[in-house]
Amino acid sequence: MSKDSVARTFIVAAVLCIVCAVVVSTAAVSLRPQQQINKELDLKSNILASAGLLQAGIPIDEQFEAVTVKVVDMQSGRFTDAVDSATYNQRKASKDPAQSVALSGDEDLAKIKRRANYATVYLIESDTGIDKVILPIKGYGLWSTMYGFIALESDLSTVAGIGFYEHAETPGLGGEIDNPKWKASWQGKSAYDSDGQLGLSVIKGRVDTERAGAEYQIDGLAGATLTTRGVDNLIRYWLGESGFAGFINHLKQGEA
């Protein structure tokens, strides 16, 4: 066969395609377990960071040993052993009608359509009890569902921190929910008042620190009113009655 023949060109192209396909698919399959490990490590580092506990230079898995992972029954607001906390996937469950409830109208403040029956929560405990509790949160912004965590201090009201690990809001606008300064402004704010009523809200504009109620308020993001409203909505949902309010009350009374 001549070197320049049509048949030879096709054979070379076909062999090249097969070799490349085998290389790419082998890489994809063999890297999948590592991708899964990296995904889990990323989630763990986001959980630690939301509570202000992430330290540079120490392996994430080692730091995560301080965290107790538990599952909460959202209906009863108490811990449950009905599913294994090590394998339970709340995000998957919230899409499965058998493992979630549909939210309608006014109840669906965060615009999430369904809420999983069980939620994974993270506790930092010490000899004296619970130091911090880290709760998963999610809700719709302008373009996307924003997934994150909010951490509360041992009084189960003071905010220890917040962080979002997945969203598609516009960088520089709604994407400012990742701004470390804005996230830091949540620390020390109060979620609930002395009667246990939810007070925490993200307002439009800047908080007037001289005015009463400033301890419950977070600055809105400039030029991103819709994302800001989304964050406010998801906080009202997840710290409210349909969210974790029942669980937080039980935890306060030591009856979770």
Rank residues 102 and 222 by Cβ distance to ligand FMN and give the closer one: 222
- Taking Cα atoms as reference points, which of 158, 160, 134 lies closest to residue 148? 134
3-state secondary structure of 205: coil
Q: What per-residue string of b and e applies to 141-152 under the rule 16 or more CB within 10 Å gives b?
A: bbbebbbbbbbb
Tell me how far, at minimum, the Cβ of 237 lies from ligand FMN, in Å. 18
Name 68's bridge partners: 123
Q: What is the DSSP letter of 83?
A: S
Q: Report the C-alpha gap between 164 and 46 in whole angstroms.
A: 8
Tell me how far, at minimum, the Cβ of 231 lies from ligand FMN, in Å. 10
Q: Report the C-alpha gap between 225 and 103 in whole angstroms.
A: 24
Tell me how far, at minimum, the Cβ of 219 lies from ligand FMN, in Å. 12
3-state secondary structure of 131: strand
The DSSP line for 18-47 is HHHHHHHHHHHHHHHHHHHHHHHHHHHHHH
Tell me how far, at minimum, the Cβ of 176 lies from ligand FMN, in Å. 9
| Residue showing the smallest CB distance to ligand FMN in the complex | 174
- Taking Cα atoms as reference points, which of 115, 119, 165, 169 lies closest to residue 144? 169
Rank residues 142 and 159 by Cβ distance to ligand FMN and give the closer one: 142
Rank residues 78 and 229 by Cβ distance to ligand FMN and give the closer one: 229
Rank residues 108 and 169 by Cβ distance to ligand FMN and give the closer one: 169
Tell me how far, at minimum, the Cβ of 236 lies from ligand FMN, in Å. 17
What does the block give as tokens for 220? 């809105």
Tell me how far, at minimum, the Cβ of 147 lies from ligand FMN, in Å. 15
> Where does this chain bind ligand FMN (CB under 6 A)?
142-143, 169-170, 173-174, 222-227
Rank residues 125 and 219 by Cβ distance to ligand FMN and give the closer one: 219
Rank residues 158 and 170 by Cβ distance to ligand FMN and give the closer one: 170
